[in-house]
Amino acid sequence: MTKQNMDEEDPGMEGEEDLPTVNLSDEAGRSLLCYIENSMEVEGEEYLLLRPVDSPIEIFAWEADDEDEDEETLVDIEDDEIDDIFSTARAVLAEQDLTLNRAALTLTVSGDLPEPTEEDTITLDLGEDEALVGSEEFQLLANFFYEEQEYAICTPLEPILFFARMNGDGEPELLSPEEFQAVRSQLEDQLFSELE
- Lowest-confidence region among 6-10, 88-92, 144-148, 192-196: 6-10
> 55-64 and 72-75: which strand pairing?
antiparallel
- Lowest-confidence region among 9-23, 33-47, 146-160: 9-23
Whole-model pTM over 0.85: no
For residue 69, the model assigns a pLDDT of 67
Task: Give the closest residue to 155 by CA, choosing from 85, 78, 52.
Answer: 52
When the pLDDT of each residue in the chain is averaged and rounded to a whole number, the result is 84
For residue 6, the model assigns a pLDDT of 37
- Lowest-confidence region among 19-23, 28-32, 35-39, 190-194: 190-194
Q: If you average pLDDT over each of 34-38, 71-75, 94-98, 159-163, which comes out highest? A: 94-98
- Lowest-confidence region among 3-17, 26-40, 129-143, 168-182: 3-17
pLDDT in tens, 58-114: 999 999 877 666 678 899 999 899 999 999 999 999 999 999 999 999 999 999 999
CA distances from 74 to 9, 116, 123 (A): 40, 19, 10
State the pLDDT confidence band at 170, using cuts at 50, 70 and 90. Answer: confident
Q: What's the 3-state SS for the chain?
A: CEEEEECCCCCCCCCHHHCCEEEEECCCCCEEEEEEEEEEEECCEEEEEEEECCEEEEEEEEEECCCCCCCEEEECCCHHHHHHHHHHHHHHHHCCCCEEEECCCCEEEECCCCCCCCCCEEEEECCCCHHHCCEEEEEEEEEEEECCEEEEEEEECCCCCEEEEECCCCCEEECCHHHHHHHHHHHHHHHHHHHC
**Is 54 or 175 the better-scoring residue by pLDDT?**
54
Neighbour-count burial for 79-114, b at 16+ CB within 10 Å, e otherwise: eeeeeebbeebbebbeeeebebbebbbbbbbbeeee
pLDDT in tens, 3-19: 333 333 333 334 566 88
Instruction: Round to whole Å and give the CA distance between 82 and 89.
Output: 9
